Every structure is written in structure tokens, then in C-alpha cells.
Amino acid sequence: MKIALLGYGRMGKAIEKIALEKGHTIVLRVEENNRAQCQDEQLAEADVAIEFSAPAVAVGNYRWCFENGVPVVSGTTGWLEKWEEVMAYCQEKQGGFFYASNFSVGVNLFFHLNQYLAKIMGRFSDYKVYIEETHHIHKLDKPSGTAITLAQGILDNHPGYKRWQLVHEAEMAEDVLPVKAKREGEVPGIHVITYKSGVDEIEIRHSAFSREGFAQGAVLAAEFMKGKRGVFGMDDLLSI
């Protein structure tokens, strides 16, 4: 399979390594300093594009792929306020789009565990829930896309919470789910959900040891997307 890498930072290089090990070919590498030199014909040569860039350029990259008939797999976070715009353009161009806030198989199982626990804990108002995520100091968005997905999973299943909010000094309303974001060293990603009462607490946690799990999932998604149109996510890939 021929792959275009839109974003060639740490994740792009990790994806490249796994893709090459699996026998795929990288036909285009787009990074911050060479985008203006990259031509439509180069992108169109790819069977699939894998996009891990930055929030400011992600939507433009999606549009570029849709316009050239190349399905795109993206893990860039921080752009979701433009989701409807991207969906409309994908449909207009009959494009293929695969998005995940996290491509780790383990994290996606964790998403479902989080939803299940929230549904159970909604019956017990003595327990208050909060989310804490920790990532490396290079991560631009705060909180992480994974934390936002976890928060939405709780909101969809727990009647006691109506919205989430990033933790700050001010007091929060009872129906607001607190999300704390920490940036430390080179941490690949830690996400913790805690339910705490006056007498005990319940905690579920996912810790990534490296970027390899994310890169493996992104390559699996690219293999899944070859020749496809429409919008897909990790639940489609994993048949959950």
C-alpha cells in the first residue's frame, strides 16, 4: 500500500517505521517546511494519507485529501470545533475519513470500560468523578483529545453531569465534570478516571509506555481505509 504522511514529527516517524516493517511504501512526507512544495499529483499517488500534524493545519490537510480522492486517517486533536465543516466537505467530495482521538487498541477498550463504569456509578450520587491526564511538554492542546472522549463517555452515561470543564481555581457547579491536564517531561500519555466518596474511591487508569501503540493503530486504520468512502472510527476497525 502507498501511504502519504501528512505530518512528519515524532508520530509521523513512528508510523513510518511500522508501515515500512509491514511492507508499505511512503510516497510523500509533508512537514512544516515543505508543504508549499508538495503537489496534488504527489498526494494522489497515495492509497491512503495518515495525518498527524497540528490543529492549525489539520482541516486544510483533510480538504486537500478529499479534493484528490485520497482517504485520510487522522489523529490530530484540537480542531473538533470544525467537525461539521469537515463532515460536510467530506460528503461533498465523497471522501473517506477515519478519525480517532487515540489509535491505541488498549485506549479504545478503556473508552468502553469508562462508559460502562459511568453507567453503573450514575446510580450512586455519593461518588464524585474527575479525570486527570498527563502528557509530554510538547503536546499543544489541553486537555488531550483522549480526555475529551473520556469526558464525553461519562456525560453520555452518567445523569449527574451535564458538561466538562478544565480544572482552574474557581469553584465548579455540582453537575460539571472536572478535567485536569498536566504536562510533564516526555510522558506518552496517562489517563485516570476516579470516583471518590467520603469513604473510598474507585480508579481506572490507562498508561501508554511509548508511541508505538498509537502508531500501530494508525497503520491498521490506514489498511482498513484503502478504497473506502465515508466516515469511520476505531469502533468500526475493532468491531466493538
Ranges of beta strands (E only) in 65-104 are 72-74, 96-99
For residues 8-39, b (16+ Cβ closer than 10 Å) or e, as one string? beebbebbbebbeeeebebbbbbeeeeeeebe
Of 237, 236, 240, 154, the C-alpha closest to 191 is: 154
DSSP string, 119-163: HHHTT-TT-EEEEEEEE-TT--SSS-HHHHHHHHHHHTT-TT-SE
User: What is the grid cell recorded at 72?
Assistant: 485520510
208 φ, ψ (degrees, to nearest 5)? -90, 135
Cα separation of the two ends of the chain: 26
Q: Which residues are designated catalytic?
A: 135, 139
Pairing of strands 190-196, 201-207: antiparallel
* Cα atoms in the 13 Å half-sphere on the side-chain side of 2: 9
